[in-house]
């Protein structure tokens, strides 16, 4: 699969095969989806044991990379359906850049578009992608992140506080 290389302003600069991008630590476009239930609890997934990085770590509902020419919100909705087995309306929350090297020599260096949504229905995860899933309160997640950061993906540890700040600002404005 090819991913979209971008500059620090998310302007596309080309495409490259995903593994090569991660081996060379090149900045590329990605998305992260955070789903909540109507009680405000976040849907976390535990990545499958077979994942090439961050296996069995807890993270946001789903994440991936849009294909060249693919609209980012369409890519996020499609990946949510593929990984978790459901669709729901997504809304753009914010975007940020992060860089996280892994023990296996790969590096995630992503311009990450973050989307949120609400869902209370049936979840049918793809077992090749997801080992387990659960809804948790953001307070519980924050506490567990502080006590056991090793249980969570690197990008989740970076994105979660930004998401909390976004949600607090959104709630203050409404």
The one catalytic residue in 83, 95, 110, 154 is: 110
The answer to whether the CB of 99 falls within 8 A of the CB of 109 is yes
**Number of Cβ atoms within 10 Å of the Cβ of 82:** 14
The one catalytic residue in 62, 63, 95, 108 is: 63
- The tokens describing 62, both together, are 């789903």
Rounded CA-CA distance 68/89 in Å is 22
Rounded CA-CA distance 18/1 in Å is 6
Q: Which helix (H) or strand (E) holds 22?
A: helix 18-24
**Residue 63 among the catalytic residues:** yes
- The tokens describing 68, both together, are 């060249």
**Residue 62 among the catalytic residues:** no
Rounded CA-CA distance 7/60 in Å is 25
Give the DSSP letter string of 53-120. Answer: SSTT-EE-SEEE-PPTT--HHHHHHHHHHHHHS----EEEEEEEEEEEE-TTS-EEEEEEEEEEEE--
- Residue positions annotated with a catalytic role: 63, 110
């Amino acid at each position: 699969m090819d991913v979209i290389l971008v500059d620090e302003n998310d302007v596309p600069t080309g495409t490259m095969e995903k593994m090569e991008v991660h081996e060379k630590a090149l900045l590329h476009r990605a998305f992260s989806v955070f789903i909540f239930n109507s009680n405000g609890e976040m849907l976390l997934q535990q990545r499958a044991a077979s994942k090439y990085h961050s296996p069995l770590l807890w993270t946001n509902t789903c994440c991936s990379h849009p294909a060249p020419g693919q609209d980012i919100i369409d890519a996020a909705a499609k990946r949510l359906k593929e990984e978790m087995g459901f669709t729901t309306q997504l809304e753009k929350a914010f975007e940020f850049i992060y860089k996280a090297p892994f023990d296996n020599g790969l590096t995630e260096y992503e311009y990450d578009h973050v989307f949120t949504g609400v869902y209370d229905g049936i979840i049918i995860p793809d077992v090749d992608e997801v080992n387990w899933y659960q809804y948790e309160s953001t307070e519980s997640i924050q506490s567990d992140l502080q006590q056991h950061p090793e249980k969570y993906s690197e990008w989740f540890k970076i994105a979660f506080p930004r998401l909390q700040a976004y949600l607090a600002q959104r709630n203050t404005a409404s």
